Amino acid sequence: MSGTSRMARAWSLVAVPVLALSLGACSQDPNSIAAQAKSGNRQGYISGDGTVESIPAAKRGKPVVLSGKTLDDQSWSVSGQAGKVVVLNVWASWCPPCEKEAPELKDAADKIGAAKKPVVFMGINTRDNPASGRATAKRQGIPYPSLDDQGGQMILALQGKAPTPPVTLVLDPSGRIAARVVGEVTSSTLTGLVDDVLAEK
């Protein structure tokens, strides 16, 4: 073996443990996004910016197929709401923007309910502890139930429209996604989107 080859081999043997050490240090960094997620404090949490998307009837996808148990252990499905507009709000107790938008959702649900419009509200409490979800919804005074989505599988049924909470979807009476808000929603925006869907022929 030449001197150059021996030198290259020596450097490779040194580089491997050094690389492993540096990777280990990164993975243990308490300020990394991964570490924050594991700790549950969500300091690095990023949500949407409140972007509103309205989808023309001709361009909507297939009906959403979603069913499950609520946090109160009641069965629920989108298909069971046929003929009604459905508002789905994806949220979690660990999500700061979800906390901020809760009064707006409550206001919209109260107003739409008082007007007796054919609209159903349902939350999707995702990747959360059910006890925390129930306690949070009760404290916020949310007047509608939420599905229990501890594992995050229900999000897959939303056709890629709910990347991270909070997201609010409005389904038309056929169960198709007609509108969505990525990030915090306001009561006025949500009631306007619902009214637009209700006004469709």
Contact 168, 124 (CB under 8 A): no
Contact 66, 78 (CB under 8 A): yes
Phi, psi of 171 (to 5 degrees): -100, 140
> What pLDDT, in 10s, does the model give residues 159-198?
999 999 999 999 999 999 999 999 999 999 999 999 999 9
The CATH number given to 51-198 is 3.40.30.10
pLDDT value of residue 47:
62
pLDDT value of residue 27:
33
Statement: the pTM of the whole predicted model exceeds 0.85: no
User: What residue segments make up the domains of the chain, in order of their start?
Assistant: 3-30, 51-198
SS3 label, residue 170: strand
Q: Which residue in the block uniquely carries the two structure tokens 């507009």?
A: 85
On the 0-12 / 13-18 / 19+ scale of CB atoms within 10 A, 37 is middle
> What pLDDT, in 10s, does the model give residues 110-151?
999 999 999 999 999 999 999 999 999 999 999 999 999 999
